[in-house]
Amino acid sequence: MRATQVSNLVRSAPSPDRTAETESRIPSSAPRKRGRLYVLDGLRLGAALMVVAYHYTALGAQAWDRPAWTVFPEVSRFTSYGYLGVQLFFVISGFVICMSAWGRPLKAFFVSRVVRLYPAYWFAVIATTITLAVVPGERVSRAWHEVLVNLTMLQEPLGVQPVDAVYWTLFAELRFYLLFAVLVWFGLTYQRVVLFCCVWGVATIFATKAEPGPLRTLVMPEYSWFFIAGMAFYLMYRFRPNLLLFGIVGVSFCASLVPSVEKFRHIPHVSEQAYWPVIAVITVIFGLMALIATGKLSGVQWRWLPVAGALTYPLYLLHEFIGWEVFGHFSPRGVHPWVLVGATTAGMLVLSYLVHRLVENPLSRYLKRRLA
């Protein structure tokens, strides 16, 4: 009797080959053990510096009393493509938000976003408002009630002008968080994130030709492909790459090129420049993220990279209008443009570090304790 039972158990047990075949088709729910992704911190600072270079040397006329690209005619041929740093931010955001929200409830996701976004942002709104009010220049500070609306980060949907023009990207981030929160509420799994990417991609296709309205605003067809690619890259990183994920990334890459080139063509001073560098930069962005997702850059662990990553958000929030006011104040006094750009960029980096240490860190800890 015992021999018969053992024989039946042996016959009913799955063969090692079949088990291996099944496991190769279904991603493991357990994440691969990885260290900190230092290279993401470096990429974030690189993206911020791309945007800084674009605003300081390729965009804007009021700061120099003439178009910036005429002040820096040679370098602006390259920095005109610096606006693509925002697209890099969006890909990284898709990756990082998916990573940080995994296994966390909706409340924890909400708290993490509040403590991450608002402390440095509140400081930037107040600092920019004071700078525009105190430093004489072409730009004027917003009325106090508009500043209060800006503190909510909802100035765009409420029809209020931003204190600084760079804040438009924050509303794009908020819309991504809103969509992703629905997924967090159900619970993150490999299958659900893949389905979310596919549904958002299909919605983007339909929203691309739609008239301006709630659907187009929520779906963000101009930028959604970058968020989708970032999430797919994270699934590669967590569960290992497969053909489906590479397919999502490939579709996102191809579909993102048209809106990115169209945005480039709407920049007034670059109408004569070639658009192929836009495609080249986006290719580099996707290539770097693929290397990160497949673990090829996990060995990059330079100790200064986390500090670089910490500077990114305050630098992005503070640099544009404050920098332009500095240029407008000192340029007529004979200070060389390159000295102004270099000194202002260095000053912004120092200010960003101080904001991170003295404002962002303590206020984030306080909010986290109270909200949690």
pLDDT in tens, the chain (372 residues): 444 443 443 344 444 343 333 333 445 445 554 567 899 999 999 999 999 999 999 887 677 878 888 889 889 889 989 999 999 999 999 999 999 999 999 999 999 999 999 999 999 999 999 999 988 766 777 899 999 999 999 999 999 999 999 999 999 999 999 999 999 999 999 999 999 999 999 999 999 888 888 889 999 999 999 999 999 999 999 999 999 999 999 999 999 999 998 888 777 666 567 788 999 999 999 999 999 999 999 888 888 999 999 999 999 999 999 999 999 888 888 899 999 999 999 999 999 999 999 999 999 999 999 997
In this structure, what are the phi and psi dihedrals at residue 61, rounded to the nearest 5 degrees?
Answer: -120, -30
- Residue 180: CA atoms inside 13 Å, Cβ hemisphere, count? 30
pLDDT tens, position by position, 154-168: 999 999 999 999 999
Helix H or strand E segment including 27:
none
Mean pLDDT over each residue of the chain, to the nearest integer: 88
Question: Per residue in 169-183, is it b (16+ CB within 10 Å) or e — as a string?
Answer: bbbbbbbbbebbeeb
- Cα dihedral 148, 150, 152, 156 in deg (nearest 10): 130
What is the rounded CA–CA span in Å between residue 204 and residue 258? 13
Please report where in the chains the tokens 């080249």 appear, as a residue: 280
What is the rounded CA–CA span in Å between residue 114 and residue 124? 15
What is the rounded CA–CA span in Å between residue 134 and residue 146? 18
Residues 6+ apart with CB under 8 A from 147: 125, 126, 129, 141, 163
- Sketch the domain layout of the chain as residue ranges: 33-371
What's the pLDDT at 342? Answer: 96
What's the pLDDT at 150? Answer: 97
Nearest by Cα to 156 from 203, 200, 212, 115: 212
Assess contact for 257 and 251: CB atoms under 8 A: no
